[in-house]
Amino acid sequence: MKIYYFDALPGDQREPHKSSDQVPESLLSDLSIIAGHYPDVASVDQIAKDRSYKNRDVITVSPDAMGDIYESKVKMFFDEHLHEDEEIRYILDGSGFFDVRAGTPGTVEERWVRIAMEAGDLIILPAGIYHRFTTDTKNYIKAMRLFKDEPKWTALNRSPEVDANPFRQEYVHTALKHPSASGIFSFEPSPAIPFRNQDFADLPIQQALDFGSYFGRHHIHPTSGGPEGHPEVHLVHRSVDDTSAQDFLKEHSNSLTWHSDVTYEKQPPGTTSLYLLDGPLTGGDTLFANLAQAYNRLSPEFRKRLHGLKAAHSAHEQAVGSLSRGGIVRREPITSVHPVVREHPVTKEKALFVNPQLKSLVDWDNRVTFHSAILDWFDGHRRHLARITPQAEAPYEPASLD
């Protein structure tokens, strides 16, 4: 899969039309688009199940499959349009282009982003996004189309009337707010910020998710339970009769387990929200460490050695552990390779220690922090929190050492 700006020059729509302008790493996330490469259909089946998709079909777009209507069909697919439902497209064979609109609607900033897709590539387009499709110069693509309910074939071509469509308006005023989400609050000078006297624990779950959606598409944890109907909420729960904390300490010399969340994903989380539902009278804390500061404190020579190195992040151990405890595994575990040194797209921040407190919410930037729960409370007390985890851009290396 390749992503770039469409050059808008005259010529055959099936040519690459690749602009030289650089595409921001977070662009697809900003547009509420999920995209990735899944070499087996079983992974697609799990995604469809997690997102409550019920129907699908397979379409082949080629002169051999469509005969005389091929050219007219490709022309029709290339008309700018939207659908009133989220849709998944998975490429089984061949290749082609999906174009999606980016930038402020109705302004000179609005432009096409071209997504070149081939076998194994998957894209999830939100309801209300303007897009179009074309085959490439090979004139052949075979794709699976997935639908949440009964298949809907109605494409609403762009017009002033469709601009006012409720699904379009919802997309513009919610999903398309992502590019300005950093303006809600800044993580400078600290990458972890507590907000006291918040009502997250009392809110309807969807309202909490609506807040998180300003920062990206919600991650669905592959091995975590969640509230019924809301797999996007990751629950952290130890009941009053849970002895796992003391069991852990019997086999380890300390209780710290520093980590960033779900880094095995191709697009790990960025802004993450954690809020306390119930907790012990004392203890049950979470620590945060600033990895940007850790990098800055290395010698220049040591930093130089780290640049260009890659690290493999695996979900397999987590999946095996869940199964061994009788837990769930929503999809096949994956391994992603990310740079050892990544560049934050916006800020440089430092750490904060956060004590647990009911009615508190803590947000942190998962891109530049580790965190760790502390096993510092006695068994017989419950610790119960919830986390919402919007995904951010794929990690990328800085252009220079400066």
Enumerate the known binding-site residues for Ni(2+): 81, 83, 87, 131
Q: Across 299-396, where does the E strand assignment appear? A: 310-314, 335-339, 361-365, 369-373, 383-388
Binding site membership: which residues? 81, 83, 87, 131
H or E element in which residue 320 lies: helix 316-324
H or E element in which residue 134 lies: strand 131-135
Both tokens of 285, joined, read 């804390």
- Close Cβ partners of 190 (under 8 Å, ≥ 6 residues apart): 349, 350, 351, 352
Q: Rounded to an integer, what distance in angstroms lies between the CA atom of residue 26 and that of residue 166?
A: 26
For residue 179, count CB atoms less than 10 angstroms from its CB and return exposed for 0-12, middle for 13-18, buried for 19 or more.
middle
Binding site membership for Fe(2+): which residues? 81, 83, 87, 131
Half-sphere exposure of 359 (CA within 13 A, CB side): 4
Q: Considering only CA atoms, which of 130, 139, 109, 136 is closest in space to residue 18?
A: 136
| Long-range contacts at 177-184 (CB < 8 A, ≥ 24 apart) | 177/214, 178/29, 178/30, 178/31, 178/32, 178/214, 178/215, 178/216, 179/30, 181/214, 181/215, 181/216, 181/271, 182/346, 184/214
